[in-house]
Structure 1
Amino acid sequence: MAHNWDDLRLFLAVARERTLSSAGKLVRLDPATLGRRVARLEKQLDAVLFVKSPQGYALTEAGEQLFRRAEAADRAMRLAMAEVVPPSDMLTGQIRIGAPDGAANFLLPQICAGLAADHPGLDIQIVALPRVFNLSRREADMAIAVSAPEAGRLVVQKLSAYRLHLAAAESYLAGHPPIRSTDDLKSHRIVGYIADMIFDRELDYLADLGLTRVPLASNSVSVQGQIIRQGGGVGIVHDFALPFLPGVRPVLAHDIHLERAFYLIRHADDRGNQRLSQFADLLSAAIRRELRRLEAKA
């Protein structure tokens, strides 16, 4: 039986987002209208596709079967559209990037502004969240991560290593005892992550220094940077963020220096999507250039 592709597109959005409100934002429909469209599809199919639970809309067995088929159709359509390459290699359409907030705040704004200027028909969305993105649910077209995932049908590309140092504001250092060794840190106020909200082991910087108490904490690295800038204490700062934090300088730079890496993650089904691949290449090169530029200024 043939069905309206638009109804299947709406079904996919609800299945991936699990709530009408979140799915409605993606497809630009209010939740009530979206709910009616899903109910209409269920009536057409004579099947219950969702069961409402405390966590949102859960797929039934019939819903799971339709989800697999609709996803296959969605992939086929994405690939077909990708084969139509715009003239002069100009990118168009919408691309959503998921990123940890350090990259989203200090790297992606200027990079994406440049890409948008070069490709006027391109709509770039940056989703900054302190967690791992689920590309299988199409939360984003691609994501930047601080560690390479080991599971899932994903394509993983290492972008670049980056450096981090302990840092503090000149105003804080002027009013507190000197820091000559790591032992001195025990008498200073520490700024860092909220321990139970660290979503990736690579972000657990302070544990390696034996610093277990964090009097000033946030799940956002940009908030941590602003706390440090305001003289709140001492914390780990990305070298590429230092140019955005005037008055903040590295502390114990020769004794404490960390290195991490950014990875670009894409869904394996998008491997043949020329448009996304072209954008990924441009984004990767721009991130490497911007990291070099900012770290040279740190």
Structure 2
Amino acid sequence: MQTNWDDLRLFLAVAREETLSGAGKVLRLDPATLGRRMQRLEEALQARLFVKSPQGYTLTEAGMSLLTRAEIAERAMRNAVAELPEVSDQLSGQIRIGAPDGSANYLLPQVCAAIADENPDLDIQIVALPRVFNLSRREADMAIAVSAPTAGRLVVQRITDYHLHLAASEHYLAKSPRIETGDDLRHHRLVGYIPDMIFDRELDYLSDLGITRVPLASNSVSVQINWIRQGGGIGIAHDFSVPAMPGVRRILTDQISLTRAFYLIRHADDQRNLRLSRFAQALTAGLRAEVARLEALA
């Protein structure tokens, strides 16, 4: 029995999300309807594709075999669409970017807004999560990361370096002991990441400074920056975020400075996708320019 592309599209979503509710959200389809479609697909193929449990849907051996073939069909479909002749210089459709919340909050909104201005028919989605994105499961079309992955069928492009320094609000500094050296940090309240929730070694800023206790901690950069802005304590802040924090200034800039990099991660199968490649080019150029602009204002 031959399956059509729509059957495979629904199957891929369930296989990747591992639940009907998760796949339903991706597909904008009722989970009960999706469950019936999967049941009909199994009946048509005369094969059990999933082991169903309260925890979700797990692929059987037959399901894993179909997954391999479905992903080949998906790549072929993507490449076929990508190679169609362009009828317009403008981008259209939907593109989803996964990013850590520092870049998602302080860089991507204005960069993507500028791209959207030039491409009115383009829908851009930014998924801001403090974790590494799984492009193989198609959680996003591309992702920004703070370190280059070494596994998986991925294409990695270094976007730009960025810089970080200690920062504190004028209010906090006015009421607290003076800070002249890094040793003085022992007498101050520090803001940073929850140690056991740091998803990338490149984000472990405070341990690089020999600091082990973090009285005010969050897995979110935005929460950390708001703590700093509200006078909660001293923390490491991206230079590009400082212009968005009135009343906050960098400290000990001549003694403590960190440099990191942003990387654009794409699935290897998308290299021939002209639409995604054009968007990636505009995104990387915009991010480089915006980091440079904001760091000059810090």
Q: Residue 297 in 1 paired to residue 285 in 2? A: no
**Paired residue type of 1:169:** S
1:54/1:198 CA distance change after superposition, 3 Å = farther
Structure 1 partner of 2:99: 99
1:139-189 CA-to-partner distances (Å, cap 9, x unmatched) read 111000000001111000000000000000000000000111111100100
Structure 2 partner of 1:195: 195
Find runs of 4+ consecutive structure 1 residues off by over 4 angstroms. Answer: none
1:246/1:85 CA distance change after superposition, 3 Å = farther
Structure 1 vs Structure 2 CA RMSD? 1.0
Aligned pairs for 1:30-179 within 5 A: 30-53=30-53, 55-179=55-179
- How far off is 1:54 after superposition? 5.8
Larger CA deviation: 78-87 vs 183-192: 78-87
Q: Does structure 2 retain, via aligned residues, the 8 Å contact 1:93–1:121? A: yes
Percent identity of the aligned residues? 71
Q: Residue 215 in 1 paired to residue 215 in 2? A: yes
Partners of 2:223 and 2:85 in 1: how far apart?
41
Partners of 2:188 and 2:53 in 1: how far apart?
47
Output the TM-score relative to the length of structure 2.
0.98
Structure 1 partner of 2:27: 27
Structure 1 partner of 2:12: 12
- How far off is 1:88 after superposition? 3.5
**Paired residue type of 1:2:** Q
- How far off is 1:253 after superposition? 0.7
1:211/1:53 CA distance change after superposition, 3 Å = farther
Structure 2 partner of 1:268: 268
- How far off is 1:52 after superposition? 2.7
Partners of 1:227 and 1:129 in 2: how far apart?
19
Structure 1 partner of 2:284: 284
1:220-273 CA-to-partner distances (Å, cap 9, x unmatched) read 011100010000000000000001111110011110100000000001111111
Partners of 2:107 and 2:56 in 1: how far apart?
34
Q: Structure 1: 5+ residue runs without aligned partners?
A: none
Partners of 2:83 and 2:217 in 1: how far apart?
47
Partners of 1:244 and 1:54 in 2: how far apart?
45
- How far off is 1:18 after superposition? 1.3
Larger CA deviation: 72-81 vs 33-42: 33-42
- How far off is 1:86 after superposition? 3.1
**Paired residue type of 1:287:** L
Partners of 1:102 and 1:209 in 2: how far apart?
20
Partners of 1:83 and 1:70 in 2: how far apart?
20
- How far off is 1:56 after superposition? 2.5
Structure 1 partner of 2:242: 242
- How far off is 1:212 after superposition? 0.6
1:187-233 CA-to-partner distances (Å, cap 9, x unmatched) read 10000000000000000000011111101000001110001000000
Does the residue aligned with 1:285 lie in a helix, a strand or coil? helix
Larger CA deviation: 82-91 vs 237-246: 82-91
Larger CA deviation: 272-281 vs 77-86: 77-86
Partners of 1:29 and 1:275 in 2: how far apart?
26
Does the residue aligned with 2:165 lie in a helix, a strand or coil? strand
Q: Structure 2: 5+ residue runs without aligned partners?
A: none
Larger CA deviation: 116-125 vs 142-151: 116-125
Partners of 1:124 and 1:85 in 2: how far apart?
22
Aligned residues: 298
Partners of 1:19 and 1:246 in 2: how far apart?
44
**Paired residue type of 1:202:** E
